[in-house]
Structure 1
Amino acid sequence: MYLLEMAPKFLVALIILLIYVKLSGKSQIAPMSQLDQVGSMVIGALVGGALLNSNVSTYQSAGLVIIWAGLLLLVRFIKSKNSRLRDAIDGEPIQLVKNGHLISDNFIKANLPVRDFETLVNIQGICAFSELKQVWYELNGSLTIIKKGDKDIAVLVIENGAISEDNLEQLHKSETWLKHEIKKEGYDDIKDIFCAEWFDNKLLVYPYDDVRKKSKAHQS
């Protein structure tokens, strides 16, 4: 009898979770930000608590999960539209090595002991700190490493049709410069660009699919 009463809860919870995973994208099973990790744990706790509590109805348990999942999706959407807000919520990567020099203050900021850092770089086949040129401690706890002799990594200056102002400042470039470069590539609006990156002293532009198709049709 108890199992029959609980069956609708299990079914509803499963459907809601499947919809949430579908809407939130595959990033939920990739390395996640701190907010994603905490949000997913809360969803698990809500589902587990609602399923085990016989005083909570199917509709109540569904409502709790829907509200929390909806809030997470809303925050994710807002972050995708505003790079500064995203950085404020998730934080920013911390540079640990710059031009071959270890930045000791940033190790303290990242709460990363140098012994743990040594282990992480050794795992990636690097024998000594002297081989390092640039290193960033990413939001998910991984390291992005550029060795001496390697090219610098590309820097995103446009994400999802919006300018990444912090990255632009890092490159010592202006918004006016970026808009001018976009126009040189044949695009009138930043919103037409899915993403653009600065790599090897060149701006690489990737427009949205529909914009690219219209551009090709116009050229033909």
Structure 2
Amino acid sequence: MYLLEMAPKFLLAIFILLIYVKLSGKSQIAPMSQLDQVGSMVIGALVGGALLSPTVSPWEASGLVAIWAGLLVLIRFIKSKNSRLRDTIDGKPIQLVKNGHLITDNFIKANLPVRDFETLVNIQGIPSFGDLKEVWYELNGSLTLIKKGDKDIAVLIIENGAISQDNLKQLNKDEDWVKREITKQGYEKIEDIFCAEWFDNKLIIYPYDAVREGNK
């Protein structure tokens, strides 16, 4: 009898979770931000608590899960459209090594002991700090690194039709420079560009599909 009473709750909760996973996209499988991790744990707690509580109806249980999942999807959507807001919510990668020099203050900021840093570096096949040129501590706890002698990694200048001001500042460039560069390649507006990266001293542009088709 108890199992029969619980069955509607299970079915509705699974249905809502399937919708949430679908709307969240495959990025949920990849390393998540702190907000994503906490949000997913809260969803698990809501589902578990609502399913086991005899005083919560199937619709109430589903409603709780749906509201929280909807808020997470909304926040993720807003972050995808506004890089500044995303940086405010999730934070930004912390540079630990610049031009071969360890930025000691940033180790404290990242709350990363140097011994743990050494372990992460060794895991990637780097035997010594002396082999490092640039290193960033990512939001998910992983390292992005460039060894001495390697090419610098690409820097994202335009994202979802908007300029990444922090990355632009990193290159000591301004918006007028970006506009001149995209004009040289036949594009009129920054809003027409899905993303653009600066790599090997050139700007590589990836326009939206509609713009690409129109330029053919």
What TM bracket, shorter-length normalisation? over 0.9
> Structure 1 stretches (4+) deviating beyond 4 angstroms?
none
What is the root-mean-square deviation of aligned Cα atoms in Å? 0.8
- SS at the partner of 1:144? strand
Partner of 1:45: 45
**Structure 2 unaligned spans of 5+:** none
Partner of 1:141: 141
Tell me by how many angstroms 1:77 deviates: 1.1
Partner of 1:215: 215
**Structure 1 unaligned spans of 5+:** none
Tell me by how many angstroms 1:188 deviates: 1.3
Query: What percent of counterpart residues are identical?
Result: 81
Q: What does residue range 45-194 of structure 1 map to in structure 2 within 5 Å?
A: 45-194=45-194
Residues 131-164 of structure 1 show CA distances to partners (whole Å, capped at 9, x for unaligned) of 0000000000000010000011001011111111
Tell me by how many angstroms 1:87 deviates: 0.5
Residues 89-131 of structure 1 show CA distances to partners (whole Å, capped at 9, x for unaligned) of 0000000000000011000000000001001110111100000
Partner of 2:204: 204
Tell me by how many angstroms 1:17 deviates: 0.7
Give the length in aligned residue pairs: 216
- SS at the partner of 1:149? coil
Work out whether residues 179 and 190 of structure 1, in 8 Å CA contact, stay in contact via their aligned partners in 2: yes
Work out whether residues 83 and 165 of structure 1, in 8 Å CA contact, stay in contact via their aligned partners in 2: no
Q: Structure 1-normalised TM-score?
A: 0.96
Q: Structure 2-normalised TM-score?
A: 0.98
Name the CA distance, whole Å, in 2 between partners of 1:56 and 1:128: 57
Partner of 1:36: 36
